[in-house]
Amino acid sequence: SKIITDVVCPFCGTLCDDLEVTVSDDGKKLIDVSNACAIGAMKFLHSQAEDRLTKPRMRNEDGSWRDVSYEEAADFTANMLANSKKPLMYGWSSTNCEAQSVGSTIGELIGAQMDNTATVCHGTTLIAVQDVGVPSCTLGEVKNRADMIIYWGGNPAHAHPRHMSRYSMYPRGFFTAKGHRGRTLVVVDPRDTDSASLADIHLKVEQGRDYELLSALRVAFRGEVLPDFVAGIPKEKIYEVAEKMKVARFGVIFFGMGVTQTLSKNHNIDIAIQVTRDLNEYTKFCIMPMRGHYNVTGSGEVWGWQFGFPFCVDLSRGFARYNPGESSSNDLLVRGELDSAFIIGSDPGAHFPFGSVKKMNEIPCVCVDPHITPTTVVADLHVPVAFVGVEVGGCAYRMDSVPIETKKVVDAPEGMITDEEFLKMVLERLQKIKGV
């Protein structure tokens, strides 16, 4: 066997790039994964599952499946998209930028509704950043400089298990030689999470009242008067945390879906960004979203270059329009406006509300995914592909918007193709149908 070093993990947006993967000499079998957290390691090991699907399968009239070739699968997909008036192309976060780019070309050709998983995650962050900008940094700067770490509305111990040990709280960096002994950790969460149990200060904010607590911090920075309690937190505690933030040498707020998808949504992020701006009057402070899926950041970047908008892109008029709430996948599904769905690199069947999934079940649906998922249950065609980041490399963006070239470590089972190759087959067919 041989060991491949500096492998990038394809599971979460932390994109840890120090993994070591042991593979057989012929590169066909993955034997072991070191340095990854449990969820990252499982992503690699799942590619070795003996019951893994290796051929596309089409739904029969009676609901059962039959195997088909990739050519038949590409024919079906191209015809479905060409015959749709309003097709949805959704997902894109667990695939590489190369596949996202081919997908964008298809979307333009057929006038699709393009949306990615940010729509149920950090889409509100993208809206806030467009409204007010963002004072951010890289994870390298956090590791080397930050002495105050704040996690707001997230539980990295479970969702991004190595985030704290690799980049924020625990590593020793250039100006942070004492590691965690030189850092203060604040966790803001209504719940007693494993991350909160590690914190120096846990602000147990009342559910859905983050906006008020953020406003109170702005008041406290100016030394003005607060009521006795704000969002369930005593004012003394708020003054204490505000003072600690002001005297920090370099601070960072990492925020998660506890603020992006609760009451006030993008306005929570607006004001968190204002808090960060206020702090830069006194010291250096940054803010960063805890992007969840592997390359969801890349999806927004690719569409940013190609369409000018990072999610909820409506191409139906031949140019890009953007209006979350109107052009977001869930709203389109619930209103019954779509007549086909192409899903890749994500699992809306598991994450969308039941009403949306039901609508997806009523229209022709193709799902490109190496796994059997709740989405494949409602699909008419399931196309298993090579695991991105395991069986094919390519570019992916880390949560701090740093692009990283990922590695292929093992061969896909014989005959299997990649997301990008399948999308290219579909594009070729669509170009023929459209005569371009």
- Calculate the dihedral angle through the C-alpha atoms of 223, 228, 233, 239, rounding to the nearest 10 degrees: 20
| CB-nearer residue toward ligand SF4: 15 or 23 | 15
Nearest to 118 by CA among 272, 253, 271, 300: 300
| CB-nearer residue toward ligand SF4: 80 or 159 | 159
Binding piece for ligand SF4, criterion CB under 6 A, among 33-41, 57-65, 93-101, 136-144: 33-41
Contact predicate 290/13, CB 8 Å: yes
Residue 304's region, left for phi above 0, alpha for psi from -120 to 50, else beta, is alpha
- By CB under 6 A, the residues from 222 to 261 that bind ligand SF4 are none
State the minimum distance, in angstroms, from the CB of residue 50 to ligand SF4. Answer: 23
Handedness of CA 417, 421, 425, 426 (dihedral sign): positive
State the minimum distance, in angstroms, from the CB of residue 352 to ligand SF4. Answer: 23
Binding piece for ligand SF4, criterion CB under 6 A, among 11-19, 97-105, 278-286, 382-390: 11-19
By CB under 6 A, residue 290 contacts ligand SF4: no
By CB under 6 A, residue 142 contacts ligand SF4: no
State the minimum distance, in angstroms, from the CB of residue 16 to ligand SF4. Answer: 3
**Among residues 4, 31, 39, 334, which is the contact residue for ligand SF4, using CB under 6 A?**
39
Binding piece for ligand SF4, criterion CB under 6 A, among 12-20, 55-63, 64-72, 335-343: 12-20
∠ CA 219-223-226, rounded to 5°:
50
State the minimum distance, in angstroms, from the CB of residue 5 to ligand SF4. Answer: 15
Beta bridge partners of residue 184, listed in sequence order: 148
Contact predicate 384/393, CB 8 Å: no
Nearest to 314 by CA among 116, 111, 119: 111
Each residue 151-180 as x (binds ligand SF4 by CB under 6 A) or -, in order, gives ---------xxxx-----------------
Per-state percent for the chain, helix, strand, coil, to nearest 5: 40, 20, 40
Binding piece for ligand SF4, criterion CB under 6 A, among 32-40, 173-181, 221-229, 368-376: 32-40
Handedness of CA 81, 87, 93, 98 (dihedral sign): positive
By CB under 6 A, residue 80 contacts ligand SF4: no
By CB under 6 A, residue 12 contacts ligand SF4: yes
| CB-nearer residue toward ligand SF4: 142 or 203 | 142
Give the 3-state secondary structure of residue 277: helix
Each residue 377-416 as x (binds ligand SF4 by CB under 6 A) or -, in order, gives ----------------------------------------
Tell me the number of residues near ligand SF4 by CB under 6 A: 14
The rounded distance, in Å, linking the Cα atoms of 6 and 409 is 11
By CB under 6 A, residue 143 contacts ligand SF4: no
**Among residues 40, 154, 258, 370, which is the contact residue for ligand SF4, using CB under 6 A?**
40
Residue showing the smallest CB distance to ligand SF4 in the complex:
40
Quickly list DSSP for 335-370: TT--SEEEEESS-HHHHS-HHHHHHHHHS-EEEE-S
The rounded distance, in Å, linking the Cα atoms of 162 and 170 is 10
By CB under 6 A, residue 293 contacts ligand SF4: no
The rounded distance, in Å, linking the Cα atoms of 253 and 99 is 32
102's enclosing H/E stretch is: helix 97-110
State the minimum distance, in angstroms, from the CB of residue 280 to ligand SF4. Answer: 29
- Calculate the dihedral angle through the C-alpha atoms of 167, 168, 174, 178, rounding to the nearest 10 degrees: -130
| CB-nearer residue toward ligand SF4: 70 or 254 | 254
Contacts with ligand SF4, residue ranges (CB under 6 A):
9, 11-12, 14-16, 36-37, 39-40, 160-163
